[in-house]
Amino acid sequence: MSAPLLVLEDIRKTYATGGGVAVEVLRGVSLTVEAGEFVAIVGSSGSGKSTLMNILGGLDRPTSGSYRVGGRDVSELEGDERAALRRDGFGFVFQHYHLIPGTSAQENVEMPGRYAGLPAALRESRAAALLGRLGLGERRHHRPNQLSGGQQQRVSIARALMNGAPVILADEPTGALDSASGAEVVALLRELAAEGRTIVLITHDRKVAEAADRVVEMRDGRIVSDSATDGGRRSRPAAPVSAAATAEHHTPASVWTSAGEAFTAALRSLGANGFRTALTLLGIVIGVASVIALLAIGEGAKRAVMARVGALGVNLVYVLAGSGDPRLPTTPLTEADGEAILRLPNVESVMPYLDMPVMVRYGNIDHRTSGLATSASLPLTHRWPVAAGSFFTTADERAGAAVAVLGHNVAKRLFPNGESPLGRHVQVNNIPFQVTGVMGQKGDLTGSQDTDDWVFVPLSTGVQRLVGKPDLQLILVSVHTVGRIAETRDAIGALMTKRHGQEDFQIRDVTARIRTATETQDTMTLLLGSAAVVTLLVGGIGVMNIMLVSVTERTREIGIRMAAGARTADIERQFLMEAALVAGLGGLVGVALGLASGALVGLFVMPVLFTATAIAGAVTSAVVTGLVFGLIPARRAARLDPVAALSSE
Ligand code: ADP
Ligand code: MG
């Protein structure tokens, strides 16, 4: 013969009350329940019935004594093993139904199935079938507050049956019902007993207890009578529990299933407290929005600077005449300096630079602009192609030929009718120069000077005919390998110092300027970033706060889920996901706000550049913030004591 289903031996339960006084609520209860029995435990209020039921159902542990379920000692079980016992072994029915508010009857009934890992389709069909059987088919999608007490109690019975638990523990199931609904519930329990399920019905009402086959009476924490031992037992053959109802073992619900549920739960609690949530999330929203908007502004500024600086040529080293201190004597920069520099390693080309204001004229059109006396290497040094004709040559330079190359805009000004300037003679300061080429459009290089508004002439010609002095303002050096530009710069410096006997020049290169610009921008980004992190932290504290409130408000719900067999991890994950979702939602709103405000700045103030990395990073930080700050509330929820949680208001 197999072991009896439930065996309690000398169970004692002592509560420590305030002031160090211990109250013994159960004083040595011994009780054996066979599979298939319908037992009523009757007794006046305070006699210890609920305490006994909590121990029977694995919600609570006895202070001493042994409790065996199907021969297995469960009094010492901990945490998740206890949860598994509740999940597969017992279905609870409470006096106040304990349905999860705000979710439909169907969802309430399905809930234990989630923790048992039933596949969604099976869960759905089984819950629907149970509700249909209990006469609630029409009301499957009603919420608890849309149902009468009797209906709610039937939903809770359906929930108790969901995982096919062999034992139903009903604590005062009729206590809150009118007599007609109460009778219906008792009839239902009878029916379940008739199917072979084991029923433990707890009641203070003797008339209700009479429905059972066996009545156990309790008084002051002791069993004072038992119809089974008193000979009054109405024996009924124990039928096997139907196949569908035997506990099935499934893998725990997948992460996605729990994510789905957590999402719905999160939306529900958000919906219920929309305004409060919105206020709490403001930190995250503002944090994320500011990260996105400020980074976009920063990136926009950086790109503008880079574009401007980059257009000057990353491959260029500038050698400027004069030390920058007007009191020091200076030697002029000369073409010979350039030729010496050209012989240095990594130097690709050297371009002398001597500019002067000029007046150019063609026909009756006058144009006041800048002339640049330089060498034939300009197109190479500047990576600046000629659009029409060709640039003047080294031969022109040597010969001091009166030839000129026009900038794009100069050509347009002097030849407005689209006539080709090539071969024509233009007057530069009243001296005729033959046009050999027109430069391609380069755009605004420096931001201060229109690069396309130049007239280029050979250095020798410019010196002889336009300026009269061979002193260069600067020498532009282009290098072969940009990576070695610093080295080349130092070499030029050393060479020039040697040639001039002093440091009466300045050397610049664009990479240094880019580096400075980038460093400035990076510092800005870092500052903005830290401000955003602080905002996110504040937002995270907001999330923690709202989650702690949520845990407190939903303590009973947590108890209900634990009674249904939720593991510590299930509860923890639910609240963590809620926190992450709430924060993620804040993050998304923040993204929208950040994009909108960034776009406004872009439209009216300065260029902005949104980067996917910044947006993804901001949302990720929001979600991570939610997870980190949700951890404490989630832990708190998961560590609640089921009995205490269930009895919370
Ligand atoms: P019943 O369900 O028969 O009305 P209970 O089992 O709920 O009785 O309670 C039995 C006794 O234990 C009561 O006197 C109650 O005050 C006490 N009791 C129940 N739970 C606690 C607790 N957590 N701490 C202290 N005393 C408790
Ligand atoms: Mg009670």
Model pLDDT, residue 232: 53
Instruction: Check pLDDT > 60 for residue 301.
Output: yes
Average pLDDT over residues 484-512: 89
Angstrom distance (rounded) from CA 221 to CA 29 = 7
Nearest to 199 by CA among 49, 2, 33: 33
Least confident of 45-49, 441-445, 533-537, 640-644: 441-445
257-273 burial, b for 16+ CB within 10 Å, e for fewer?
Answer: bbbebbeebbeebbeeb
3-class secondary-structure state, position 623: helix
SS3 94: coil
Sign, CA torsion 153/154/159/163: positive
Which pair of structure tokens corresponds to residue 534?
């602080």
Residue 444's pLDDT band, with cuts at 50, 70 and 90, is low
201 within 8 A of 209, measured Cβ to Cβ: yes
Answer yes or no: is pLDDT of 25 > 80: yes
C-alpha 194 to ligand 2 mean position (Å): 26
Is residue 608 helix, strand or coil? coil
Point out the ligand nearest to the CA of residue 48.
1
pLDDT tens-digit map of 344-353:
999 999 999 9
Is 95 in contact with 171 (CB distance < 8 Å)? yes
Q: What is the mean pLDDT of the chain?
A: 87
Report phi then psi at 355, rounded to 5. -110, 160
Q: What does the alpha-carbon distance between residue 130 and residue 140 come to, in Å, rounded to a whole number?
A: 10
**For the whole model, what pTM was predicted?**
0.70
pLDDT confidence of 50, banded at 50, 70, 90?
Answer: very high
Using alpha carbons, select from 229, 195, 194, 197 the residue that is nearest to residue 215. Answer: 229
**Chain centroid to CA 102:** 27
Domain boundaries defined on the chain:
36-61+80-252, 266-306+516-646, 331-503
CA nearest ligand 1 atom 6, residue: 48
pLDDT digits (tens, 9 = 90+) for 149-168: 999 999 999 999 999 899 99
Q: Name residue 39's beta-bridge partners.
A: 200, 214
- pLDDT tens, position by position, 371-423: 999 999 999 888 888 999 999 999 999 999 999 999 999 999 999 988 999 99
529, 533, 532: which is closest to 521 by C-alpha?
Answer: 529
Residue type, 26: L
**Residue with the nearest Cα to atom 20 of ligand 1?**
51
CA angle, corner 171, sides to 169 and 173, nearest 5? Answer: 105
Cα angle 579, 584, 586 (rounded to 5 degrees) comes to 100
Cβ burial of 287 (10 Å; 0-12, 13-18, 19+) is: buried
Q: Which of 26, 29, 44, 50 for mutating ligand 1's site (highest number of atoms within 8 Å of CB)? A: 50
- The Cα–Cα gap between 637 and 628 comes to 15
Is the model's pLDDT at 431 over the cut of 50?
A: yes
Q: Which numbered ligand comes closest to the C-alpha of 94?
A: 2
Q: Which ligand is nearest to the CA of 41?
A: 1
Contact 287, 535 (CB under 8 A): yes
Ligand nearest to the CA of residue 46, numbered in listed order:
1
Q: For the residues 8-20, what does the mean pLDDT come to?
A: 89
Q: Give the H/E segment covering residue 500.
A: helix 485-500
Residue 2: both structure tokens together: 């197999």
Region 182-202: what's the mean pLDDT?
Answer: 93
Q: Which atom of ligand 1 is nearest to the CA of 643?
A: 23
Is the model more confident about 315 or about 105?
105
Residue type for position 137: G
Q: 335: part of which helix (H) or strand (E)?
A: helix 335-342
The DSSP letter of residue 436 is E
Cα(562) to centroid of ligand 2, in Å?
19
pLDDT in tens, 575-613: 888 888 888 888 999 999 999 999 999 898 888 888 898
Q: Which residues line ligand 1 (CB under 6 A)?
A: 15, 17, 23, 25, 43, 45-51
248-297 pLDDT tens trace: 455 555 556 666 766 777 777 667 777 877 888 888 898 889 888 888 88
**Ligand 1 pocket: which of 11, 12, 15, 45 to mutate (most atoms within 8 A of CB):** 15
- Residue 257 pLDDT: 60
State how far Cα 207 lies from the chain centre.
58
- Among 76-80, 88-92, 142-146, 416-420, the minimum mean pLDDT is found in 76-80
Q: How confident is the model at residue 245 (pLDDT cuts 50, 70, 90)?
A: very low
Nearest Cα to Cα of residue 195 among 131, 252, 244: 244
Q: What residue's CA is closest to ligand 1, atom 21?
A: 15
Nearest ligand, CA of residue 218? 1
Closest C-alpha residue for ligand 1 atom 24:
15
Residue whose CA lies nearest to ligand 1 atom number 27: 15
Q: What's residue 246's pLDDT? A: 41
243 pLDDT band, cuts 50/70/90, is very low
Q: Cβ neighbours of residue 581 under 8 Å, at least 6 residues apart?
A: 262, 263, 266, 626
Query: 200-240 pLDDT, tens per residue?
Result: 999 999 999 999 999 999 999 999 999 876 665 555 555 44
**Residues whose CB is less than 8 angstroms from the CB of residue 241 and which lie 6 or more positions away in sequence, other chains included:** 164, 166, 195, 196, 197
pLDDT at position 253, please? 53
Write out the residues surrounding ion ligand 2, Cβ under 5 A.
Answer: 50
Tracing tokens 């410019």 back to the chain, one arrives at 462
CA 521 to chain centre: 26
CA distance 392 to 396: 6
Let me know how long the chain is: 649
Q: State both tokens at 166.
A: 């062999």
Q: What is residue 467's DSSP assignment?
A: I
* Cα–Cα distance for residue pair 166/240, rounded to 1 Å: 9
Query: What is the CATH T-level fold of the domain 36-61+80-252, as seen in this structure?
Result: Rossmann fold (3.40.50)
* 644 Cα nearest atom in ligand 1: 23
pLDDT at 372: 94
The predicted-structure confidence for 504-518, as pLDDT tens digits, reads as follows: 899 988 777 777 777
Tokens of residue 400, six digits? 């001091």
Whether residue 525 is predicted with pLDDT greater than 80 in this model: the reply is no
Distance CA 509, CA 494 (A): 16
**Distance from the CA of 95 to the center of ligand 1, in angstroms?**
15
- Spacing, Cα 48 to ligand 1 middle (Å): 6
- Residue 623 in tokens: 């979600």
First to last CA, the chain: 45
Give Dmax over CA atoms of the chain in angstroms: 136
Q: DSSP E strands: which ranges in 238-383?
A: 316-321, 347-362, 365-374
Higher per-residue pLDDT: 304 or 569: 569
User: Percent of the chain beyond pLDDT 90?
Assistant: 55
**Quick one: 493 exposed, middle or buried, by C-beta within 10 A (0-12, 13-18, 19+)?**
middle
Atom of ligand 1 nearest to the CA of 202: 2
Q: Give the Å distance between the CA of 247 and the centre of ligand 1.
A: 31
State which ligand 1 atom lies nearest to the alpha carbon of 54.
6
pLDDT at 234: 52
pLDDT at residue 242 is higher than 50: no
Whether the per-residue pLDDT at 247 is higher than 50: the answer is no
The H or E element that residue 41 is part of is strand 38-43
What pLDDT does 140 receive?
93
Q: Ligand 1 atom closest to Cα of 53?
A: 6
The residue contributing the CA closest to ligand 1 atom 22 is 15
Q: How confident is the model at residue 369 (pLDDT cuts 50, 70, 90)?
A: very high
Q: Whose CA is nearest to atom 2 of ligand 1?
A: 50
* Cα-trace Rg, the chain: 44
Is the Cβ–Cβ distance between 648 and 642 less than 8 Å? no
Distance from residue 635's CA to the centre of ligand 2 (Å): 29
From 21, 51, 54, 640, the mutation candidate for ligand 1 (largest count of ligand atoms within 8 A of CB) is 51
Ligand nearest to the CA of 54: 1
- 19: pLDDT strictly greater than 90: no
Bridge partners, residue 64, by sequence: 12
Q: What is the pLDDT of residue 540?
A: 87
Q: How far, in Å, is the centroid of ligand 1 from the Cα of 561?
A: 22
Which residue blocks in 407-477 are alpha helix, DSSP H?
408-414, 459-461
Q: What is the DSSP string of 359-416?
A: EEEETTEEEEEEEEEE-TTHHHHTT--EEEE----HHHHHHT--EEEE-HHHHHHH-T
Atom nearest to 48 CA in ligand 1: 6
